[in-house]
Amino acid sequence: MISATHLHAMVIHFPIALLLIGFLSEVTGFVLKKTFFNKTAFYLLILGTFGTIASYLSGSSAGEGMEGGTLGKAIELHENAAVITLWLAIITSILYIVANWLKYSNKWIKVACVVLFASVICGVSRTAYLGGQLVYQHGAGVELALPDFNEK
């Protein structure tokens, strides 16, 4: 049976990859002025935002029941970073959708989009770092299994 912790670990890596590659594509398109990279970045941002929503929901389930002590504080930090990242991704996606729908080609709109996308990547990085600390420093979601010494 897949637990909420396992589901969160399986889901979370997709938006990280999608958003990071999307941002690199956006920067490449911005520098080289190639629309292919900008369109790719747009679709990866939208997919990454949906993945961020799924990751947040699975993470909420995975963190239930671990509110106390040092682990609870670490989970709270991770969850707060996840909320900020989620809203940054949603706001950035909305800005990109509006800019594409209305066909804005103003340079300052594009700069604002790239800066917002960069803030999403910063949020993802911070959230991922705190999530890594949960697992590797606090052992969250890790089940210790001792060998069966009675086995012949």
- Report the range of poorest mean pLDDT among 1-5, 72-76, 110-114, 142-146: 142-146
Using a pLDDT cut of 90, give the percent of the chain over it: 56
- For every residue of 67-104, DSSP letters joined together read -SHHHHHHHHHHHHHHHHHHHHHHHHHHHHHHHHHTT-
- Average of per-residue pLDDT values in the chain: 89
Burial class (CB in 10 A: 0-12, 13-18, 19+), 75: buried
- How far is 104 from 25, CA to CA, in rounded Å? 19
Encode pLDDT of 9-54 as tens digits.
Answer: 899 999 999 999 999 999 999 899 899 999 999 999 999 999 999 9
DSSP-based helix, strand, coil % in the chain, nearest 5: 80, 0, 20
Residues in CB range of 9: below 8 A, 6 or more apart: 141
**What's the whole-model pTM score?**
0.85
